Structure 1
Amino acid sequence: MPAGQEHYFSARPAAEPTAGGTVTVELDDVRLRLRTDGGVFSHSRLDPGTRVLLEHAPLPKVRGDLLDLGCGYGPIALTYATRRKRYPVWAVDVNERALELVRANAETAGLGNVTACLPDEVPADVRFGTIYSNPPIRVGKRALHELLLRWLPRLRPDGVAYLVVQKHLGSDSLAAWLTGEGFPTSRLTSQRGYRLLEVHPRTD
């Protein structure tokens, strides 16, 4: 995997940590200043796909645990933790440097409802009311499908997932595949070359 993409599935990124930097998440209802570092996804700016999700994905429709799948340094997890301070928010990533940043950013923001952890550290009995994710498309279809098939079944029956995917990186084919796997999927919006997909639980 190219060095610029190895952060997706690397527990300890090859990129050396730096003095760090900051990215500001500025939305109509939320303003966060987040620490970043080398070796984490989009460390120098708020990823445009992430911005589309934060601006256009609905607030949780049901009360319950939230999941940010592939959290990076935490812009999605911390935004929704701010919007819903009484909801437990799970920020999950394989990148330990990213998880350390999420923990530091949550502490700075005074958000005690965020748990940043490795995938295997999420208790098996936790079910999610809402999943938000800017998934790692570039890892390839097989790895991406395995990732989604691991977590989407953990939606509550009344839950929903929101995935943001770049149009030219296969958003439409991913939506068709998800529907074929039994997860009814529709396009919620298309903004700046990104599709925001709404995914519902299997009904069987």
Structure 2
Amino acid sequence: MPDPPEHYYASTPGVASSRRTIEVELPDLRLRLRLLTDTGVFSHRQLDPGTRVLLENAPLPAVRGDLLDLGCGYGPIALAMAHRLKRRRVWAVDVNERALELVRDNAAAAGLGGVRAALPGDVPADVRFAAVYSNPPIRVGKAALHELLLQWLPLLLPGGAAYLVVQRNLGADSLARWLDEAGFPTARLLSRVGYRVLEVQPRRSE
């Protein structure tokens, strides 16, 4: 049974905590990620298939700089990118305090000191990103999703890009059109098992 979606977006989930460990294997990593998960966090029973599509197909950043896992949950994207690019700083951002605690514990267990788990307001204002990777919270609604993206996409460095994975039947194509109309050139990088990976470029100059 799917997790009740309202739990994901609360700063303090109302459902009782019940931690467990899952293993995530990715083709390019010579290890299995052992990740603590918990109730009240997105896809806590297993790696979400959309997140897997993103992790197996989105390219590494083309420029140097910090990375952002936006809506990080328990941190599979942040941890995978930190393993791939050990000298980069990876920001794992979420509103869910339980999720951020899991990211900190997972990063510490893996010895990944470059991962920074943070609430949105705790990311320094001068930080800019070489790449953003996200399985965004589509179910928060269009207005909230658009507000979220308009907050973070302008922080892309020149030559950087954002990679968003969205289910086709949850509006991936309409989101791509909206992003393009909002000034962020967007292309479908690939379509796999019902998911689109969108590549979003920095906003066009006016």
1:92-129: CA deviation from partner (whole Å, max 9, x where unpaired): 00000000000000011110100001000000000000
Residues in 2 aligned to 1:121 and 1:48: alpha-carbon distance in whole angstroms: 29
Q: Match for 1:26: what amino acid?
A: E
Match of 1:53 in 2: 54
Match of 2:128 in 1: 127
Match of 2:42 in 1: 41
The answer for unaligned runs of 5 or more in structure 1 is: none
Match of 1:62 in 2: 63
Residues in 2 aligned to 1:197 and 1:79: alpha-carbon distance in whole angstroms: 19
- 5 Å-filtered alignment, 1:1-204, equals 4-18=4-18, 20-30=19-29, 31-204=32-205
Q: Match for 1:25: what amino acid?
A: V
Normalising to structure 1: TM-score of the pair?
Answer: 0.97
Q: Match for 2:63: what amino acid?
A: V
1:17-73: CA deviation from partner (whole Å, max 9, x where unpaired): 01x111211011222010001000000000000000000000111111000000000
Q: Match for 1:16: what amino acid?
A: A
1:8 touches 1:139 (CA, 8 Å); kept in 2? Answer: no
Residues in 1 aligned to 2:165 and 2:105: alpha-carbon distance in whole angstroms: 25
2:8 touches 2:40 (CA, 8 Å); kept in 1? Answer: no
Normalising to structure 2: TM-score of the pair?
Answer: 0.96
* Percent identity of paired positions between Structure 1 and Structure 2: 69
Residues in 2 aligned to 1:117 and 1:40: alpha-carbon distance in whole angstroms: 15
SS in 1 for 2:23: strand
Q: Match for 2:198: what amino acid?
A: L
SS in 1 for 2:8: helix
Residues in 1 aligned to 2:65 and 2:43: alpha-carbon distance in whole angstroms: 28
The answer for unaligned runs of 5 or more in structure 2 is: none
Deviation at 1:7, TM superposition (A): 3.0
Number of residue pairs matched by the alignment: 202
Residues in 1 aligned to 2:79 and 2:62: alpha-carbon distance in whole angstroms: 18
Instruction: Please tell me the root mean square deviation across aligned C-alpha atoms, in Å.
Output: 1.1
